[in-house]
A and B are shown apart, each in its own frame.
Chain A
Amino acid sequence: MRPRLPVALAVLAALTLTVAPAGAQSKVRVVTTIPDLKALTEAVGGDLVEVESLTRGTQNFHEAEVRPSMMLKLRRADLLIENGLDLDAWVDVAVQGANNANIVQGAPGRIEVSRNVPVLDVPTTRVDRSMGDVHPRGNPHFSLDPGLAPIITENILAGLVRVAPQHRAAFEKNRQSFLARLDGEMARWTKAMEPLKGSKVVVYHPDFIYFLTRFGVVQAAAIEDRPGIPPSPGHLTRLINLIKQEKVKAVLVEPWSDRKLAERIAQDAGVKAYVMAVAVGAVKGADTYVSAIDYNIRTLVEALK
């Protein structure tokens, strides 16, 4: 007998394997592109969701490498939560390799949390790459601004309700509870930052503009005069002069940026360079949404005192 029947049964079994777990799994499977959104989704979803992030806090989200392990995570996702504003456009390639119709572009199981966020740094002139790796729709690094958490979690809530409407009440309750807790923390953070309003800092890449604006700190300049392009010696000389003239108090740097360069500039200008948590998990002690913001507040208070 030709081995057609065993082959057919094997194929059927394989197909069954692909289908059966979908119903057996009671939690909503959510995949986020960045860890900040994972933390916020866990806050809203609570025990009803199982959340994975495609990237870690120590990675530069602009240049994430699309690995098949991302496709494995996306393979069974009910919901994909993107940051948007072109920060995580690479996820399209991962989605294409995941063969999951729930999360393809435009599907109900895919949301962007940038919806309704008041975007900063939106270019007002013609944009091209001579300006560096600019984001034509505005600065996408808003997720760690605690003041935007209500909008972000509202978008997350809408996405979760879309794929699991039976849990709407629980999601809403979780969100309110999280925002109430955040309100308490916010009062503490605002009080700590109140005396530092109007202080000036220099950043390596404009990753903190929402956070700084929230607490009244002024971003005087960036080491990268054009995003993603190494700074020229002339720009660095001007930057050092600016730090001195404008009485800039600190240089803020991401964990993955050229810290030696930042420290050299700071030293030449007579200030210090500080590593900020650009995302949840970016540095030690910033493992949750609140602790990441706490870390940044403590760092700024120390840097600007």
Chain B
Amino acid sequence: MWNVVAMLVFALAALAVPAFANQDADALRRELEQMRKNFEALRQDYQKQMDAMAERLRRLESQPQPTTATAAPPAPDPRAAVRAPSTPSAMDLLSPRQPFGLYGQRGSGQLLFDIGLAGDFVGNLTQRNVDKAGAGTFRGRENRFFPREIELALFGQIDPFARGEVRLEAGEEARGQETGVGLAEAHLTLMTLPFNTQLKLGQMRNRYGWSNQIHEHDLPWTDRPNVYRAFFGDEGLSEKGAELTWVPDLPFYLEALIGAFNGDNETAFGRGRISEPLVTARLRTFFELGDEHAIQLGASFAHGLSADRLRRMYPGFDIRYKYRPEGWLHPLLTLGGEAIWSVRREQRVRDLLIVGGSVPGDCITGDIIPGALIDTDGDGIPDSEAPNTTGPCIQLPPTENPDTVITVGNQRWVTRLGYYLYGEVQPFRRWAFGARYDYVEQLVRGRERSIQPYVSFWPSEFLRFRLAYKLTDRSSDSGFSANEASARKVNELFFQASFVLGAHPAHPF
């Protein structure tokens, strides 16, 4: 019996072994296949890690060891959108650029805009009669030391499309007056307009001529040139409106500008309405004569109306040359000049007739001039043209005022010229010596010439002292007499101290 059982067990075992053997081989094959796959995955993973480590090692090796700051981790670029250079379509040109990440490339902790403060103090000494007549360069502030311009400037990107700039200014306007604070400039510039144009909107110093756009503390002289002060007032031309610039694609640099402004400047214009705008235009070009010589040429034009709607035009030209020897940090020689013509339509009053009680249609006789204008309401401003300007008689226009004051006169063009020339030599980095010659035909009467030698000293890039002497010779004291005093020959000594705190934009050529 036991033998039978043993034989059966043996027989079953003998049958079972091949089956188990077959199963083991399959499992082994599967296991081997799995291991092969795992090994391949491991190898690939290891290779990737090796590649990453190699790149990391290259980076680490490229860093100097004793650093004082850790490298910023690589940040994802928000401006990942790519752009192939291709000819833009008309629609591309007419639409603004797409938004992109602002300050994506700036370091951390940066302000979104820059802040700068410039201080400019001026002292002047002159004769007693000049002081009494208030006829010095700084009128009403003769023989005083005063803060002329303390300027707080804020500037930077508004958004991806525009830059903004605001300049608040404080300074002494006249003797005994408290220092006032005003808005010197506040404007935005649209930087991404089509056709390579830019639009500047707001209140700004007009880009007219070379020196007009420069603030007092940045000028190469203590005072603004006489021609600007005579034709545009002490502050020069600063207006509210818009300027459009275009830089065409030419082999040389050319900037074209056109602007429209209110025309608030009382000395030159005074209409003060954007509906009857002051229009400005400027062309500027630049040539480099080798690496050391550079010359800039500009032509400007301003056309507007006076408060009584008389036309005013100011064509002007400017030139600037610099010689900077190779390797110098500053120019050795700077030469420049500007010439401006004042072409003004002016009202010449010839007769003043009081015709109280006259009625429309009445004929006023006398020395009637062709082109006569009539002031029918007596405010001094002509508001009507005579209906008959050729005969010896002016017929009264309709008026309800029984005591109409009629001013009869004519208009004529009055042209005046003003210019300055200057030269500056800077043989040392911290010292510059220069002189400016001014000539201007005054708007009322007479001519004025002046010569102004000066010396400037910069202890550092942010601090400057200047000493200047100015001799002025006027052919007439008209406009320069008051308080029983007048000033035709004027001797003035200027002292100027200027500083900059914080950011200050680089100076253009």
Interface residues of A (CB under 8 A from B): 14-15, 17-23, 25, 28, 56, 58-60, 63-69, 71-72, 75-76, 78, 84-85, 89-90, 92-93, 96-101, 104-112, 114-122, 124, 129, 132-133, 137-138, 145, 147-151, 158, 161-166, 210, 213-214, 228-230, 255-256
Give chain B nearest CB distance to A18 CB in angstroms: 4
A68: B residues at CB distance < 8 A: 253, 255, 284-286, 296, 508-509
A65 and B68 in contact, given A19-B87, A93-B508, A107-B97 (Cβ under 8 angstroms) = no
Do A118 and B69 touch (CB < 8 A)?
A: yes
A17: B residues at CB distance < 8 A: 248-250
Do B107 and A137 touch (CB < 8 A)?
A: yes
Do B97 and A101 touch (CB < 8 A)?
A: yes
The listed residue (A66, A133, A150, A158) touching B506 by CB distance below 8 A is A66
Do B252 and A72 touch (CB < 8 A)?
A: yes
- Nearest B residue to A148, CB-CB: B62
Do A69 and B69 touch (CB < 8 A)?
A: no
Do A122 and B69 touch (CB < 8 A)?
A: yes
Do B506 and A99 touch (CB < 8 A)?
A: no
Interface residues of B (CB under 8 A from A): 58-59, 61-72, 74, 77, 79-88, 93, 97, 100-107, 157, 160, 163, 189, 191-193, 195-198, 245-250, 252-253, 255, 284-286, 288, 291, 294, 296, 324, 326-331, 430, 459-462, 501, 505-509
Do B84 and A60 touch (CB < 8 A)?
A: no
Complexed CA–CA distance, A93 and B505 (Å): 7
Complexed CA–CA distance, A67 and B509 (Å): 5
The listed residue (A89, A104, A118) touching B191 by CB distance below 8 A is A104
Complexed CA–CA distance, A99 and B82 (Å): 21
Q: How many A-B residue pairs have CB under 8 A?
A: 205
Do A255 and B253 touch (CB < 8 A)?
A: no
Complexed CA–CA distance, A187 and B191 (Å): 47
A148: B residues at CB distance < 8 A: 62-64
A15: B residues at CB distance < 8 A: 195
Complexed CA–CA distance, A161 and B459 (Å): 45
A97 and B79 in contact, given A68-B255, A110-B105 (Cβ under 8 angstroms) = no
Give 15 CB contacts A-B under 8 Å. A14-B248, A19-B195, A68-B296, A89-B506, A97-B247, A106-B104, A107-B192, A110-B105, A111-B105, A120-B69, A124-B68, A163-B83, A164-B84, A164-B85, A255-B327
The listed residue (B58, B65, B101, B286) touching A67 by CB distance below 8 A is B286
A122: B residues at CB distance < 8 A: 68-69
Give chain A nearest CB distance to B419 CB in angstroms: 23
Do A65 and B65 touch (CB < 8 A)?
A: no
Do A147 and B61 touch (CB < 8 A)?
A: yes
Give chain B nearest CB distance to A99 CB in angstroms: 4
Apart from A19-B195, A114-B107, A163-B85: 9 A-B pairs, beta carbons within 8 A: A66-B509, A68-B508, A69-B286, A97-B247, A105-B103, A111-B105, A119-B69, A120-B68, A213-B65
